A and B are shown apart, each in its own frame.
Chain A
Amino acid sequence: MSAVEGSVAIGARAGAPVFALEDATVRYPGAPAASLERASFRVAAGECVALVGPNGAGKTTALRALLGLAPLVSGRAEVLGRSSAAWVRDALAREVGVVAQREEPVFPITVLEAVEMGRYAHVGPWRGLDARDRDAVARAMARADVTDLADRWVETLSGGEWQRVRVARALAQEPRALVLDEPTASLDLRHEMQLFELVVDLVRRDGLAVLFVSHHLNVAARFADRLIVVAGGRLVADAAPAQVLEAGRMSDVFGWPVAVQRLDDGSIQLYPERQPRSSILGEPSR
């Protein structure tokens, strides 16, 4: 897809991690507390990293900081070695494709039109798509398995199809990294697995860096090389899933007792335990 080991983007530093937060603190104007406090992590090319944690923990804030959209009070957020805030949006869009949490088009467009929008950052204001652009669009659609949907209206797609179309659009940007914010939040089991198999394939075969947010811990543990756990705006853990998913820590983070079990393939799966109603009337112990 993208020339990962080829040319280095303008302004990017050679050998720099794709994403880096260093001691980053984010506080939104008017917010009583920081949404993210002194967070540091890195994502390299060819890595698939998941951000997990309870609601409101600061996962999306971390993504927004990396993408230059959250106000950094202190610390640094960098993409390819260059400060996130310093990127011009179209230059960033040529390096990083994003599948955001919510998106509802108001005007009916076709799948092909939607994916072609991924070429925006590559095309000048007065020029149409040329052969190279159309080729990139066709490859992206084939990669995300949406070629057959080209003429469909996007509002007629199922949730899983729409997410694949949005991944195709991000791939049409020919990025070296993908960011996905809860990409499978409303998908059923098959569509969720399909999407993540595609994402992991993009990491393994095309060398993309992937950073995704998910509430589905077990799926994150199956697909990610590393899990970064965020709670209360702070990073709690950053390691391989087997080391991170430890019963005591995860019970603390989510405020609910969990048990872990190792599957035959070596992956760790996490089970929430039942708690009698009487014992949860008070705040769960943390």
Chain B
Amino acid sequence: MKRLPPRTFALLLAAAWIAAGLIGLAVGGSRLGPADVLAALGGEGSESARAIVWSLRLPRVALGFLVGGVLAVAGAALQALVRNPLADPYLLGLSGGSGLGAVIAIAVGLESAWALPAAAFVGALVAIAVVYRLALVAGSALDSRILLLAGVVVGAFAGALVSGILAVADATGVRSAMLWLMGGLGGVGWAGVAALAAYSAPALAVLAREARSLNLLALGEEPARYLGADVGRSKRRVYVAASLLTAAAVASSGIIGFVGLAVPHAIRILRGHDHRGLLPSAFVLGGAFLVLADAVARTVVAPIELPVGVITALVGVPLFAVLLRRSARRAVS
């Protein structure tokens, strides 16, 4: 395994980010050329192109960058915390818990872009607490395989509760909630982007501060302690920050799986495991990945728009299989 030099890697990331952004702005119902996009961004070109870019596609691309970024950062941090490259917000039940919290909020009439993330955050915190408790009952919360199993169970349970709530809720609420739960970046607008940015910023700052502790935690809790990490405090901070990131992402764009799994893995291979570089890289690449996936989802069976989660799953599940195989091989050797 050979890593890229940090500077080369940073340039590649920047290029991927810009390319994804331009593609996201260009493709869709009416296709624009790169020149049209740049012209519209600069306030030139036709009025219709400017309207499409500025009020439809730009918020969508911005949302994609943010949602993909925070999901990837949450995944990278959780992987170090539970010492398992298979961890991500979706598999640990955080996404399911967030979805349940948000659906309950919708059911009782709290639908604002600012209230939903708060409700989803509560859902995510409850979910991770239950996952942890379940893992403790099953043996040890330090065994990441048990933790992931508990996460999948809690995620499935939250999904069942969501179905139940939607079945008894009134019809219009159900329709909007169903569309939102399928996961998608459309129809959110600048208010949603602003809410997501505001909720994510403190969580991202906390994780940046804990990046060095994450390096130690990846060695195991005991060595981490001996090297000077306050393990209990770091774990609480990372769980809460990852929950908040997941909740904010789910509240704005529904449940999108596997971004937090695929993106950190790619960076771990290309750049290494130092979380001081890994977390910001995951943010950039996660954003680019989701914006590209969204561009594919919008065009592959146009005029029908696929939920973007379909695309991320098509990439993420085969990767999960590869990782699973590798970790199984490591376990027997």
A125 interfacial by beta-carbon distance below 8 Å: yes
Q: A105-B219, A107-B273 are in contact. Are A125 and B212 (CB under 8 A)?
A: yes
Known contacts being A93-B228, A117-B227, A121-B227, is A106 close to B212, with CB within 8 Å?
no
Q: Mark B237-277, 1 if CB is under 8 A from A, else 0.
A: 00000000000000000000000000000001000111010
Give residues 132-187 of A contacting B (CB, 8 Å). Answer: 153, 169, 173
> Which residues in A have their C-beta under 8 angstroms from that of B213?
120
Cβ–Cβ contact B222 & A126, under 8 A: no
Check A33 for interface membership: any CB of B closer than 8 A: no
- Output the least CB separation between A220 and chain B (Å): 22
B209 to chain A, nearest CB (A): 5
A113-B228 contact given A100-B223, A104-B220, CB 8 Å threshold: no
A65 to chain B, nearest CB (A): 14
Q: Considering only CB atoms and an 8 Å cut-off, how many residues of chain B contact the other chain?
A: 29
Contact A106 B227 (CB under 8 A): no
Residues of A within 8 A of B223 (CB): 98, 100, 103
The answer to whether the Cβ of A233 comes within 8 Å of any Cβ in the partner chain is no
Nearest chain A residue, comparing its CB with the CB of B230: A89
Tell me whether A109 is interfacial, beta carbon within 8 Å.
yes
CA distance A106 to B220 in the complex (A): 9
From residue B211, how far is it (CB to closest CB) to chain A in Å?
Answer: 8
* Residue of A whose beta carbon sits closest to that of B273: A107
Contact indicator A89/B222 (Cβ below 8 Å): no
A97 to B228, CA, bound (A): 10
Q: Are B228 and A94 in contact (CB under 8 A)?
A: yes
**In the docked arrangement, what's the CA distance between A266 and B94, Å?**
64
Complex: A40 Cα to B221 Cα, angstroms = 28
Whether, in the assembled complex, A123 has its beta carbon less than 8 Å from a beta carbon of chain B, the answer is yes
Task: Select from chain B the residue with minimum beta-carbon distance to A99.
Answer: B226
Pick from B213, B220, B268 the residue with the most CB of A within 10 Å. Answer: B220
Rounded to whole Å, the gap between the CB of B147 and the closest CB of chain A is 13
- Shortest distance in angstroms between B163's beta carbon and chain A's nearest beta carbon? 36
Nearest Cβ on chain B to A32's Cβ, whole angstroms: 20
List the interface of chain A (C-beta within 8 A of B).
67, 69, 88-90, 92-94, 96-98, 100, 102-109, 113, 117-118, 120-121, 123, 125-126, 128, 153, 169, 173
Which residues of B are in contact with A by a Cβ distance under 8 Å?
Answer: 1, 80, 83-85, 209-213, 215-216, 218-220, 222-223, 225-231, 268, 272-274, 276
12 A-B contacts, Cβ less than 8 Å apart?
A: A67-B226, A89-B230, A92-B228, A98-B226, A100-B223, A103-B223, A104-B220, A109-B273, A113-B273, A118-B227, A125-B211, A153-B1
20 more A-B contacts (CB under 8 A) besides A92-B228, A108-B273, A121-B228? A69-B225, A89-B225, A89-B228, A89-B229, A90-B229, A93-B227, A93-B228, A98-B223, A100-B223, A102-B220, A103-B219, A104-B220, A105-B219, A106-B84, A106-B218, A113-B272, A120-B215, A120-B227, A169-B227, A173-B228
